[in-house]
Amino acid sequence: MALLEVEGLKIHFPIRGGLLKREIGSVKAVDDVSFSIEEGQTYGLVGESGSGKTTTGRAVIGLNHVTDGKILFNGRDLTKERRKDRQLQRDVQMIFQDPYSSLNPKKRVMDIIAEPLRNYERLTATEEKRQVGNLLEKVGLSPESIYKYPHEFSGGQRQRIGIARAIALKPKLIIADEPVSALDVSVQAQVLNFMQEIQKELNLTYLFISHDLGIIRHMCDQIGIMYKGRYVEQGTTNDIFENPQHIYTKRLIAAIPDMDPTKREEMIAFRQQIKSEYENSYRNFFDEEGLAYSLQSISDTHRVALPQKG
């Protein structure tokens, strides 16, 4: 059984207006999304801004109200049981996008990392300090840094403090929402390598949200691509990159900057071709409202949003 199963997830935000601020419509931020993640794997959620990928991630950890659908973690519905079961709360943790705003500037590193421990475990002061020391060691920071403040660290170090906080309660699932997009390339490499190391060490499962397809390919086993709140394609990393089926996926992959300057002309021609293909076959892939159809299986692992046959 998969560790996390999301079934028919819908998150709609009401639009209020009119005389008494009644609900006059809704924004379908996430509309009927289903996916599952096996234990120990990394699942990549890709999409442009506004596609609903972050909203999905936040719903899994309980930061967004779920309109409809199930989020099953080890077979238990997070949407219903999270409030009652503290173990469920501990098992799902999050790494935030911006290491500059996700750490409280007034708190010392000690207090930042110990906060989840203080919330969920009753430890003596010495025991707590020992655990924080261990966590810091795990993320490669020196033990003396527990008395420092976040501003004394570089971006990559801060993101590692954020990771130390996320793994403090030994979670099973970590939601990483654009964990490296605020960082420089060399620092980015450091954090990505580190995330892979602790994944092996602690047998973590990641839900990795990003708009950078290069990083997604590097990190993920399974990938889901979202567009306007719906899934357009889902499959293994190979399925998506070697055999993209949906025109949106093709366009997204074609838009990635190519590292070989000698192929510039080729790329321009290739993109032109994809662009005209996109315009010509738009009707075949999107309905009247410009939304993707529901997913159809085309192989064991690969599902694409296509209109119903017949």
**Positions that interact with another protein (CB under 8 A):** 48-49, 154, 156-157, 184-190, 192-193, 196, 211-215, 217-219, 241, 251-252, 255-262, 264, 267, 271
- Contact predicate 249/240, CB 8 Å: yes
Q: Measured from the CB atom, is 117 or 183 closer to another protein?
A: 183
Beta carbon of residue 260, minimum distance to another protein (angstroms, whole number): 7
Q: Which two tokens stand for residue 214?
A: 């290069």
Q: Which two tokens stand for residue 123?
A: 């430890």
Q: Measured from the CB atom, is 20 or 185 closer to another protein?
A: 185
DSSP H helical segments within 50-124, as ranges?
53-61, 78-81, 86-91, 109-120
Beta carbon of residue 179, minimum distance to another protein (angstroms, whole number): 14
Q: Measured from the CB atom, is 53 or 69 closer to another protein?
A: 53
Please report where in the chains the tokens 């501990």 appear, as a residue.
90
Q: Which two tokens stand for residue 100?
A: 């500059």
- Collect all residues with Cβ–Cβ distance below 8 Å to 77 and sequence separation of at least 6: 70, 71
Q: How far apart are CA 57 and CA 97, in angstroms?
A: 12
Q: Measured from the CB atom, is 83 or 263 closer to another protein?
A: 263
Beta carbon of residue 77, minimum distance to another protein (angstroms, whole number): 33
Beta carbon of residue 45, minimum distance to another protein (angstroms, whole number): 14
Q: How far apart are CA 49 and CA 58, in angstroms?
A: 15
Beta carbon of residue 202, minimum distance to another protein (angstroms, whole number): 18
Q: Measured from the CB atom, is 78 or 292 closer to another protein?
A: 292
Beta carbon of residue 67, minimum distance to another protein (angstroms, whole number): 25
Would you mind telling me the total number of residues written for the chain in this entry?
310
Q: Measured from the CB atom, is 101 or 119 closer to another protein?
A: 101
- Contact predicate 52/33, CB 8 Å: yes
| Residue 104, strand partner residues | none
- Contact predicate 249/233, CB 8 Å: yes
- Which of 206, 197, 281 lies closest to 245 in space, CA to CA? 281
Q: Which two tokens stand for residue 275?
A: 């662009």
Q: Measured from the CB atom, is 193 or 308 closer to another protein?
A: 193
8-state DSSP, 21: T
Beta carbon of residue 231, minimum distance to another protein (angstroms, whole number): 18
